């Protein structure tokens, strides 16, 4: 079964400096029908005004993945890590027993656009951890590359959950056929572009919950960027 979560159905926050869309309940947006999907708890699409951002705040027992779409995000945390992340970079922060961090727009003139993803861990109160890396763009071109996984598959960053996070960039007119395990859950999030997922139209911001399926076709009508989550049911 493939169930579309249209971009217009998401929760919306406009704080002036922050414009955010929430695929699942988050903060002041609460929808009991959309509390997450399997261990996938949060997909927030954030647009952050120049020179602003999220000041130092705490997290605990969550695998937090940041995927920049445009601009730069300046990260600092209580573990001593500091970085500026841009499109093509992947960041994974394992909050474990607790940490604090800040996320600021690194630019004084350009908007920051990013996806932040939370995955619930299968281990609690562990040692906090952090890793980021820059991806070779060719690894994402018209194919899916594993960004994060439980076992570090294909050199990906390890997370504490039976889940894989993948990304792909499809040229206009290209498609990918996926073989799925019907005992697992999948989520497709369109980050950029337009196309189809199975038989449904797909545009930036749309999400798709997928379960009890053995195959899936994703097609790009224009240049597109897609995230794929493969998770324990």
- What are the pLDDT digits (tens) for 134-190? 999 999 999 999 999 999 999 999 999 999 999 999 999 999 999 999 999 999 999
Average pLDDT over residues 101-116: 98
Q: pTM of the prediction?
A: 0.97
Instruction: Note the pLDDT of residue 44.
Output: 98
Cβ neighbours of residue 6 closer than 8 Å, sequence gap 6 or more = 206
Instruction: Note the pLDDT of residue 217.
Output: 98
Instruction: Note the pLDDT of residue 201.
Output: 98
- Report residue 177 as tokens: 């056929």
pLDDT tens per residue across span 52-96: 999 999 999 999 999 999 999 999 999 999 999 999 999 999 999
Sequence ranges of the domains in the chain: 2-232
**Topology (CATH level 3) of domain 2-232:** Jelly Rolls (2.60.120)
Can you name the residues that pair with 58 across neighbouring β-strands?
100
Of the chain, the percentage scoring pLDDT greater than 70 comes to: 100
Average pLDDT over residues 118-133: 98
Instruction: Note the pLDDT of residue 218.
Output: 98
154: DSSP letter? G
Q: Quick one: which H or E segment has residue 147?
A: strand 144-149
Dihedral pair phi/psi, residue 31, rounded to 5°: -135, 105
Average pLDDT over residues 107-114: 98
């Amino acid at each position: 079964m493939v169930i579309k979560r249209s971009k217009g159905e998401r929760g919306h926050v406009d704080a002036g400096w922050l414009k955010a869309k929430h695929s699942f309940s988050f903060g002041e947006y609460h929808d009991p029908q959309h509390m997450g999907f399997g261990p996938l708890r949060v997909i927030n699409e954030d647009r952050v005004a120049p020179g602003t951002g999220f000041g130092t705040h705490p997290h605990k027992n969550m695998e937090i993945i940041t995927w920049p779409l445009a601009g730069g995000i300046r990260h600092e945390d209580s573990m001593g890590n500091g970085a500026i992340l841009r499109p093509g970079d992947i960041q994974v922060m394992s909050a474990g027993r607790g940490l604090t961090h800040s996320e600021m727009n690194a630019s004084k003139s350009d908007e920051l656009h990013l996806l932040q993803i939370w995955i619930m861990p299968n281990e609690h109160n562990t040692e906090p951890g952090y890793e980021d890396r820059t991806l070779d763009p060719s690894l994402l071109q018209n194919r899916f590359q594993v960004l994060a996984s439980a076992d570090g598959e294909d050199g990906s960053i390890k997370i504490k959950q039976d889940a894989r996070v993948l990304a792909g960039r499809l040229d206009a007119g290209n498609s990918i056929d996926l073989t799925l395990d019907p005992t697992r859950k999948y989520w497709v999030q369109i980050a950029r572009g337009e196309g189809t997922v199975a038989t449904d139209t797909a545009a930036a911001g749309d999400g798709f919950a997928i379960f009890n399926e053995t195959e899936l076709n994703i097609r790009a009508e224009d240049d597109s960027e897609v995230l794929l989550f493969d998770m324990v049911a």
